[in-house]
Amino acid sequence: MKSALQSRLLPAIPIIGLIVVLLPLSLDAQRKQASGNRERSTVTKQSANPGASGNREAQKSSGRTGKSTGTKSNVSTGDKTNVSTGNKTNVSTGNKTNVSTGNKTNVSGNTVNIDNSKNVNVNVNKSTVVVANPRPYTRPPYAYGGHRYYCYHPYAYHPYKPFYWGPVWHPWGFFIATMAATAMIITVANQQYHYDQGVYYVASGSGYTVVPAPVGATVVTLPPETQKVVINETTNNYYYGGTYYEKTDKGYTVVPPTAGTVVENLPEGGKEVKIGEVTYVKLGETYYQPITQNGKNMYEVVDVKDDK
């Protein structure tokens, strides 16, 4: 029995041994093949998208670059634009437009209006700025620079202090946007004026500008603060806000100042003028000499004549 069994098993032993030897080799080969397949698959994918890895690196690098560049751009360029350019536009250009251009327009308009008013006064009065007084002068004139300055009272300097007649009064050159409903229209030498409570206006741009009272204009009533001033023994005038009036049948007519007239207050708009050793106050084209009368500081209308 053993001999027969052995005889049958002996041929199978080499086969089993071969299987034992070859099986591990086959498994190892399969593993290597699988690993090779994975590597080839990876290589194939990389080959199909060769920039993928490079892109990822580029993105990382670009991200770092973007952060750096972006920060510099936002901080440096942004700050410069907002601080430097913005401030220059708001401060420099804005102020020039609001302060410079606006002011020039108003001043220029005022100059034109005042000049027009002076031309009207000169034409009406035949170039006479001050009316001569028939009273003879008892004092010699002050002579200087080819002119003689006549006054009835001695010179007594005191500083020029403009007088304020209240909220309804405005100095020459003052601008208002709208005219009061109480204003009346007066036409003198083809020039239209608006009169309201002792103040004269002409249309100017988008509003009205205060001008000197036109000689020849007649109004029915005068402000309550109007004062009576003495011209001579037989004549009186009425004075308000730098303007002189003469009583007529139709009311009160604007007249030029008369030499020798004494007033207590002068309005805003005058300036002190040094002539030799004497300081006068010039209001428009009229010279006033500072004097004292009855213990008060006053002003006398000067009669200025050329030496001949």
Can you give the three-state secondary structure of 175-203, one letter per residue?
EECCCCCCCEEEEECCEEEEEECCEEEEE
- What does the pLDDT read at residue 65? 41
Same domain, 15 and 149: no
Q: Are residues 141 and 279 in the same domain?
A: yes
Residues 264, 154 share a domain: yes
**Predicted confidence band of residue 84 (pLDDT cuts 50, 70, 90):** very low
Output the average pLDDT for the chain. Answer: 74
Indicate if 155 and 271 belong to the same structural domain: yes
pLDDT value at position 275? 97
Residues 285 and 154 in one domain: yes
Same domain, 131 and 279: yes
The answer to whether residues 164 and 267 belong to one domain is yes
Is residue 80 a part of any domain in this protein?
A: no
Tell me the two tokens of residue 167: 């909220």
Number of domains present in the structure of the chain? 2
Whole-prediction pTM: 0.60
| Contact between residue 183 and residue 112 where contact means Cβ atoms under 8 Å apart | no
DSSP assignment of 10-64: TTHHHHHHHHHHHHHHHHHHHHHHHHHHHHHHHHHHHHHSTHHHHHHHHHHHHHH
Residue 196 covered by a domain: yes
Query: Does 66 reside within a domain?
Result: no
Q: Are residues 162 and 21 in the same domain?
A: no
In a domain, 200, yes or no: yes
Lowest-pLDDT choice from 57-66, 117-126, 138-147, 172-181: 117-126
Domain with 207, as residue range(s), is: 121-306
* pLDDT tens, residue by residue, 217-272: 999 999 999 999 999 888 899 999 999 999 999 999 999 999 999 999 999 999 99
Verify that 23 and 135 share a domain, yes or no: no
- Residue 210 covered by a domain: yes
Among the ranges given (21-25, 87-91, 246-250), the one the predictor scored with the smallest mean pLDDT: 87-91
Mean pLDDT of 63-69: 41
Span of 52-66, 106-120, 145-159 with lowest mean pLDDT: 106-120
Residue 86 has what pLDDT? 42
Judgement on whether residues 145 and 275 belong to the same structural domain of the protein: yes
Please indicate, yes or no, whether residues 28 and 131 belong to a single structural domain of this protein: no
Cα 221 to chain centroid, rounded:
39
Contact 201, 183 (CB under 8 A): yes
Question: pLDDT value at position 194?
Answer: 98
Are 170 and 297 in the same domain?
Answer: yes
Residue 262 is predicted with a pLDDT of 97
